[in-house]
Amino acid sequence: MSDARKRPVPSRIAFLASDAEDAQQALARLVARYDPAPIERAQVIVALGGDGFMLHTLHRTKGRDIPVYGMNCGTIGFLMNEYDEADLPQRLASAEEAVINPLSMRAVAADGTLHEALAINEVSLLRAGPQAAKLRISVNGKVRMEELVCDGALVSTPAGSTAYNYSAHGPILPIGADVLALTAMAAFRPRRWRGAILPKSAQVRFDVLDAVKRPVMADADGRSVRDVVSVEVKSEPSVRHRILFDPGHGLEERLMREQFV
């Protein structure tokens, strides 16, 4: 969901940067040009880096209800804006806001430990050995697929649908759509199964079949759990991430443009 309403020109801007040299140099220039504020008092956060650092920043600031404006000092930068040092407060005031909800992951490992994490893009299961994984898929407590033989499977948000999901030939989802993508990676059986589009309220459970012989790892935005036996995934509406984009270059436009290249 995007919001193009004009916001006040911020006077308290916090800057965060990745460890990359370009990002650190940009940080030094911006701090010298604009009086930075600590995160605790900031009205907006400017993140300098690539998409990975943007995800890191959103996770780091979870619960603060502070919008984050990314400037690309990395490679692809799908979640980032073009780097420009001029008139930054005015650009922040004019930016479009998108609000996204992450996914929650509850993964149980073979030793019985429970691992919980949030994912802004996707929760994925990947084979961790030489043989294909075997997964049973349930939605809202009902088994929908007794056995999926594959390299892996993932559940993606609309915001993450152009990332790993798209590389796995999953659908691009409109931002603000109340749906999730369930996508298989290199499905062997059923050979032609390409996944499903689920309502945002759906709760997806993966059970790993023959986990000892066919080990599987789970990943939530880079936080990995090895040797999982079950993984539950659902949208987490209680958590809101606010992302700012330059006018005309918001998530909705980016997702639309991505489908015509």
Tell me the residue type at 193.
W
Tell me the residue type at 238.
S
Instruction: Measure Cα distances from 69 to 51, 58, 88, 174, 198 in Å.
Output: 12, 10, 10, 21, 30
Q: Which helix (H) or strand (E) holds 97?
A: strand 96-100
Cis? peptide before 10, omega within 30° of 0: no
Rounded Cα distance between 8 and 94, Å, is 9
Query: Which one of the listed residues 51, 178, 207, 246 is annotated catalytic?
Result: 51
| Whether 51 is catalytic | yes
Q: How far apart are the first and last CA of the chain?
A: 23
Here the tokens at position 14 are 């916090």
Residues with catalytic function: 51
